[in-house]
A and B are shown apart, each in its own frame.
Chain A
């Protein structure tokens, strides 16, 4: 009997209504996050990684689309498991920013430019924890100290534009953690930052997770960042998870041609070849990322895949077990090393 996971997504399908018809952005995703664990979702534009996280938070406006099928089982603080896909909007408001928080890529557009950062952090505590104004402000200062912002008392009293990008992302994290969430969803939180600041933020998130014990769903396109922060990884392409594994399994034995292509796309210098005077080239994946409006038949990756055979063009591959805890949606996963 294993413990109930913090988040258990089962068969999630998310659709959007557009002028040209229904677009299925997420086509049956299964994903779990345990308490204290970091699960990375890796993918390129149009892979459905952000839509998956927005679906968990139920942040897709009804007018444009929403969850069409599947369950989003979340174990709340009270120990009760609820299906967020079915929860009424009013109940979701008690979950968002409280039990599940989210941070985004661009901290400047996610913060209110006309409100002091202290008040923005205090808002969640006021709303969800019934603190007084004074208590909530103190909580905000405490949170700023937690995310290692120097002179937190003074900084609580400034506006977002008076801070650097790295500082603003720390404020976002402070805001997200103000109510001690059980789950933090981080959607490309370091993509807009310089590498030196990215490292600071990743180290901060690691430290806070150790101290607070929250689960993290980390959305990214950067496999280097995945290697730094994740315990488990799900690789998404065309709205499906094409490979999922522990971080060491994935890097040791990537078992989907797309994962292999992504790894080969990362520039790594072959020093021996360089000394021979060769102009190095990368083993790039040909073609463009899949357009969710016009998905191919069969495996979504087949038009770009060097391993594709007839079957890949007609049948969607099921998940094959490469190892315990390691799955691949590729008919030919066992031949890739041959």
Chain B
């Protein structure tokens, strides 16, 4: 087993809201005690509904959002509390790709400036080298070298996402957080970007934390998957194991809800009722129990620990041993 490149231990990100002179306010527990690791060369998927905390988690491992508690280590070095200068240096090894290719590129900068800025900030190369490097990067993501002189509005959504990827690759990172990079794209363009990610991964030996909500994309791209619900890990396993043999009722419900492109398939499904509860006042005990069809009284008593149920497979459900969730 490859060593862990990124290791997150009991990470918490809490946001205070409504705090005034007279009222102590409340706390949104966006990420509430998450542990996970990304091994060298591995793609780890992070799935969950909106409000599950997946984006906050992705940003907090890069310290784009400051964690409230817990630890994040990158290549053995603790990131929480690291001084800004050192963090900046580390960021040349850790990059992010955003979901919305329209909002994440500065419309007043040329593509060359957008990609070159990262090189400039990290003092990589001289002026002439940089132009060369930008051209190489554009080619690597499937765009013509001449694209450097043009502006973001001249490109389609898929092309902009390629520019966003080139920008992330500019500083030669070994780890990338990809926050729903294909969700806003048309189906045919999504497939192109998925292929590009696969190619780059192979060519550059990248490790990725891939945040998504489309389970088929996650299954296709990821080696291991972490299922998040209301800021907590419900289940984690290798992609093959998770999809074939889900052990948490929430994972099963997510898999069931994903539409299958085959009109003849009519499955027995677990349909979840209602919506995600508020992360301000999460349910006691297991946070999923209010929507879980298998919940019993005991589920309200204590927060179920994440327990190992197989090789590389852990689940946080007190009934995991007795439930048979395989289709």
Contact = CB atoms under 8 A, between A and B. Distances in A.
23 contacts: A165-B275, A194-B50, A195-B254, A196-B257, A196-B272, A197-B49, A197-B275, A198-B259, A224-B216, A224-B260, A224-B261, A225-B259, A227-B263, A251-B261, A262-B187, A266-B187, A268-B216, A269-B239, A281-B195, A281-B199, A283-B191, A289-B156, A289-B189
A247 B191 CA distance: 23
Contacts of A251: 261-264
A309 interface: no
Most central of A150, A222, A248, A265 by chain B CB within 10 Å: A265
A4 interface: no
B191 A267 contact: yes
Contacts of A150: 274
Contacts of A194: 49-50, 213
A247 B189 CA distance: 24
Interface in A119-153: 150
B193 to A, nearest CB: 9
A337 to B, nearest CB: 19
B260 A167 contact: no
Contacts of A195: 49, 213-215, 254, 257-259
A283 B191 CA distance: 8
Interface string B279-291: 0000000000000
A167 to B, nearest CB: 7
Interface string B191-204: 11011001101100
Contacts of B262: 227, 251
A20 interface: no
Given A196-B272, A199-B256, A199-B269, A265 B198 contact: no
A contact face: mostly helix, strand, loop, or mixed = helix
B253 interface: yes
Nearest to B202: A279
Contacts of B202: 279
B260 to A, nearest CB: 6
A224 B264 contact: no
A298 interface: no
A112 interface: no
Nearest to B223: A274
A280 B186 contact: no
Interface string A250-264: 010000000001111
A227 B275 contact: no
A269 B191 CA distance: 13
B188 A284 contact: yes
Interface string A266-298: 111101001000011111111011000000000
Contacts of B157: 45
A196 B49 contact: yes
A198 B198 CA distance: 29
Given A44-B187, A196-B253, A251-B262, A288 B271 contact: no
B295 to A, nearest CB: 16
B217 interface: yes
A236 to B, nearest CB: 13
B158 interface: yes
Contact of A285 (B49, B191, B214, B258): B191
B220 interface: yes
A202 B214 CA distance: 17
B219 interface: yes
B109 interface: no
A279 B239 CA distance: 14
Interface in B41-59: 49-50
A230 B261 CA distance: 11
B190 interface: yes
A200 interface: yes
Interface in A196-215: 196-200, 202-203
B27 interface: no
A195 B253 CA distance: 10
